[in-house]
Amino acid sequence: MNEIIELFNIDFTYVFIAVFSILTCLKVIISLFEWIIGKFGLETKWMRQKRKERELLIQTSQNLVTLQEKHVEDMKKSDEHDAEMRNDIKELTDLFVNKQINDYRWEIINLADKISGKKFVSKECLRHAISTYEKYEKIIEEHGLSNGEVEISIEVIKESYQNKLKDGS
């Protein structure tokens, strides 16, 4: 029982200081030991493992730098490819719009030529030409183009359509 009472009388401040002092001395001794071994050029298993970990860390860092450079290069190529695709799509869109405009023009001008040549043209054909002209005007307006070629032809078509409506034929 006396041992237990003595245990409670221990000053834990001294125990803490003693443990801390022992650990500090142990660290100093290990550091001194490593320094001496390093001066002789010897290598312990622990030092070898530490060196390999350092080399691995350096290699990983270099690989990450290389990977980052490759990523930046790939992103530049991707941006260039996207720009090329945008240009190609714009060119295709322009080609399609120009073809559509030319098809509408040809259809309207061809019908106006038939009317001028005194050939028979039905009311349905005339309505279709007027509808085509409206589509033509819409495309011209959407793309900021000017209309000059088809205006006279559409006037001939509208006049012929009005005459057909008046005549009832």
CB distance 147 to 140 below 8 Å = yes
Full residue range of the structural domain in which residue 104 is found: 87-169
Taking the mean position of all CA atoms in its chain, how far away is CA 15? 65
pLDDT of residue 169: 60
Q: How confident is the model at residue 10 (pLDDT cuts 50, 70, 90)?
A: confident
Angle between helices 151-167 and 123-142 (to 10 degrees): 150
Is residue 15 assigned to a domain?
A: no
pLDDT one-digit tens code per residue, 137-151: 898 888 887 766 788
What's the confidence (pLDDT) of residue 148?
67
CB-CB neighbours of 154 under 10 Å: 21
d(CA 7, CA 32): 36
pLDDT at 71: 97
pLDDT digits (tens, 9 = 90+) for 57-99: 999 999 999 999 999 999 999 999 999 999 999 999 999 999 9
> What does the alpha-carbon distance between residue 70 and residue 39 come to, in Å, rounded to a whole number?
42
Check residue 154 and give its pLDDT. Answer: 83
Instruction: Check pLDDT > 90 for residue 14.
Output: no
Higher-pLDDT residue of 25 and 157 is: 25
Q: Indicate whether 147 belongs to any domain.
A: yes
Cα torsion angle, 161, 165, 166, 168, sign: positive
Domain membership flag for residue 8:
no
* Whole-angstrom distance, CA of residue 70 vs CA of residue 83: 20
Expressed in angstroms, the distance from the first to the final Cα of the chain is 133
Most confident of 10-19, 66-75, 154-163: 66-75
The total domain count for the chain is 1
How far, CA to CA in Å, does 43 sit from each of 26, 38, 59?
Answer: 20, 7, 21
Tell me whether residue 1 is in a domain.
Answer: no
| d(C-alpha 21, C-alpha 27), whole Å | 10
* Within-domain flag for 34: no
Residue that the structure tokens 């009005």 belong to = 162
Please indicate, yes or no, if residue 162 is contained in any of the structural domains: yes
- DSSP assignment letter at 165: H
Nearest Cα neighbor of 138 from 92, 107, 97 is 97
Within a domain: residue 145?
A: yes
Indicate whether 49 pLDDT > 80: yes
The closest alpha carbon to 115, from 106, 124, 126, belongs to 126
Q: Which residue has the higher pLDDT, 59 or 47?
A: 59
| 52 is a domain residue | no
